[in-house]
């Protein structure tokens, strides 16, 4: 496995793959890797001849500086995991390598996310998706992948990145990958490492609330399901931020399940000061 810190070094390594028209797979991450990330790497290894994984904690997508400072960082351990997984190349740049002209340059204001960015995470984390789009665009420009693998835990992010790729006509296929869960159902996330024991014990209630929503979907109104979901999170000792039922394509809230072919339930809640998100199909999609 090769480790690159600069754009020219990574690009020189990738040139022969590109010249021979080999498939380049890309897994963008912010490090603190877990089984969820490794499943993305595995899927990339299956479908490409060269898998590049980036580890870059992107400052422009954090709307709170304390969150950025406390974001878990274990580069040595991450490299070990990627090596064991069989990843061919790791890109671990400094901030100045990604943003040589400063973090505000090349912002994504001209993009129209069609309302995908105005609900849920977009409404609760102002500027977050602009930062995600900015860094993902830059990383795609640097790596030039044929396939890019992203997890469905950040489902809204996945749809926004797909929309950006479509609008800018970037020659990459964005492959959405299923959420990987702990044995008790908690969606794997780098943030889980920051949960204390009490919060870790409460956190699986998010998945339970989503499952309950999926079961109730055919018999209850969307408003009732939102209320039940929010209450289930509070009853478990979590601080719910939202519990939403939304069209799986537009992410706009649904009022009745018949309104959309595919509906997903989405939740964001705080557990012991750590913000967690999760989602589950409730209509028309694999549960
Ligand atoms: O999902 C993440 O880890 C990040 O948002 C991403 C896509 C690597 C961009 O920084």
Contacts of 177 (CB under 8 A, 6+ apart): 39, 40, 43, 149, 150, 151, 152
pLDDT attached to residue 106: 61
pLDDT at 105: 60
Q: Which domains does the chain have, with CATH numbers?
A: 2-177 (3.40.50.620), 190-279 (3.30.1300.10)
Residue range 43-60, pLDDT digits in tens: 999 999 999 999 999 999
User: Is residue 120's pLDDT more than 80?
Assistant: yes
Distance, CA 157 to ligand 1 centroid (Å)? 8
pLDDT digits (tens, 9 = 90+) for 123-165: 999 999 999 999 999 999 999 999 999 999 999 999 999 999 9
pTM exceeds 0.85: yes
Task: Kindly state the greatest CA–CA separation across the chain.
Answer: 58
Mind listing the pLDDT tens digit for each residue in 180-229?
999 999 999 999 999 999 999 999 999 999 999 999 988 889 999 999 99
In this structure, the strands spanning 24-29 and 2-4 are unpaired
| Pocket flag, ligand 1, residue 29 (CB < 6 Å) | yes
HSE-up of 147 (CA within 13 Å, CB side)? Answer: 21
pLDDT cut 90: percent of the chain above it: 91
pLDDT recorded at residue 257: 87
Q: Which residue has the tokens 């999170």?
A: 233
Residue 153, both tokens:
């835990």
Q: Is the CB of 28 under 6 A from ligand 1?
A: yes
- Residues 249-270 have pLDDT tens digits of 999 999 888 889 999 999 999 9
Q: Is 124 a catalytic residue?
A: no
**Is pLDDT above 60 for 287?**
no
Q: Residue 152: CB within 6 Å of ligand 1?
A: no
Dist. CA 41 → ligand 1 center (Å): 14
């Amino acid at each position: 496995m090769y480790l690159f810190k600069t754009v020219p070094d990574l690009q020189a390594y990738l040139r022969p793959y590109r010249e021979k028209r080999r498939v380049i797979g890309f897994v963008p991450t912010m490090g603190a890797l877990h089984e969820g990330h490794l499943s993305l790497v595995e899927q990339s290894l299956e479908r490409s001849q060269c898998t590049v994984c980036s580890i870059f904690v992107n400052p422009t997508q954090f709307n709170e500086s304390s969150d950025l400072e406390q974001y878990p960082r274990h580069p040595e351990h991450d490299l070990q995991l990627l090596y064991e997984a069989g990843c061919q190349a790791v890109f671990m740049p400094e901030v100045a390598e990604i943003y040589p002209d400063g973090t505000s340059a090349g912002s994504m204001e001209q993009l129209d996310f069609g309302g995908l960015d105005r609900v849920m995470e977009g409404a609760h984390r102002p500027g977050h998706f602009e930062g995600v789009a900015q860094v993902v665009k830059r990383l795609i420009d640097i790596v030039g992948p044929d396939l890019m693998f992203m997890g469905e835990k950040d489902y809204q992010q996945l749809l926004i990145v797909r929309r950006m790729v479509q609008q800018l006509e970037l020659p990459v296929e964005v492959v959405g990958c299923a959420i990987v869960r702990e044995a008790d159902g908690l969606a794997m996330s780098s943030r889980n490492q920051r949960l204390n024991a009490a919060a870790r014990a409460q956190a699986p209630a998010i998945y339970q609330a989503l499952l309950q929503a999926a079961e109730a979907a055919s018999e209850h109104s969307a408003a009732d399901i939102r209320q039940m979901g929010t209450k289930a999170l509070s009853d478990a000792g979590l601080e719910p931020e939202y519990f939403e039922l939304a069209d799986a394509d537009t992410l706009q809230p649904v009022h009745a399940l018949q309104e959309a072919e595919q509906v997903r339930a989405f939740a964001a809640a705080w557990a012991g000061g750590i913000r967690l998100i999760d989602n589950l199909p409730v209509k028309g999609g694999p549960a």
